[in-house]
Amino acid sequence: MNIPLWILAGLLAALFLATGGAKLAQPKDKLVTSPNMTWAQDFSPGTIKLIGALEVLAAVGLILPAALDIIPVLVPLAAVGLVLLMVGAAITHARRKEPSAIVTNLVLALLAGAVAWGRFGPYPFA
């Protein structure tokens, strides 16, 4: 089960590194015109950058602490952070009546939750 958890963490890290990086690199005006980021019009540029920074930090936290064997407990904590981010995203999309985005957010929350469960529970980094 260790290898599937690594693969899942790697996939989540790649996804959130890309999406968080886009939020950090692009101005709000450009993000709002993207079909999957229309929610950004409801937030200030600073808040969007904060969300992007949290996603990038979580992506790094899913991989580096375990790979470098430096405070590996940060891996499940990063996964819990992603669960919280995705719950917040699902709430935002629910308010905007965007059901397909809600499903995506909940699936990502469940996948991050699986990493958190696995690394806090039966398959920790010892």
Residues 82 and 12: beta-carbon distance below 8 Å? yes
Tell me, yes or no, whether 125 lies in a domain: no
> Whole-model pTM above 0.85?
yes
The three-state DSSP-derived secondary structure of 25-91 is HCCHHHHHHCCCCHHHHHCCHHHHHHHHHHHHHHHHHHHHHHHCCCCCCHHHHHHHHHHHHHHHHHH
Q: What is the pLDDT of residue 35?
A: 86
Tell me, yes or no, whether 21 lies in a domain: yes
Burial of 34 (0-12, 13-18, 19+ CB in 10 A): exposed
* 14-48 pLDDT tens trace: 999 999 999 999 999 999 998 889 999 999 999 99
Euclidean distance between CA atoms 62 and 54, whole angstroms: 12
Tell me, yes or no, whether 60 lies in a domain: yes
Tell me, yes or no, whether 126 lies in a domain: no
Q: What is the pLDDT of residue 87?
A: 98
Number of domains comprising the chain = 1
Tell me, yes or no, whether 43 lies in a domain: yes
The ranges of the chain with pLDDT < 50 are: none
Domain that holds residue 20: 2-120
* Number of Cβ within a 10 Å radius of residue 90: 19
Tell me, yes or no, whether 12 lies in a domain: yes
Q: What is the pLDDT of residue 125?
A: 81
Residues 6+ apart with CB under 8 A from 48: 23, 28, 31, 40
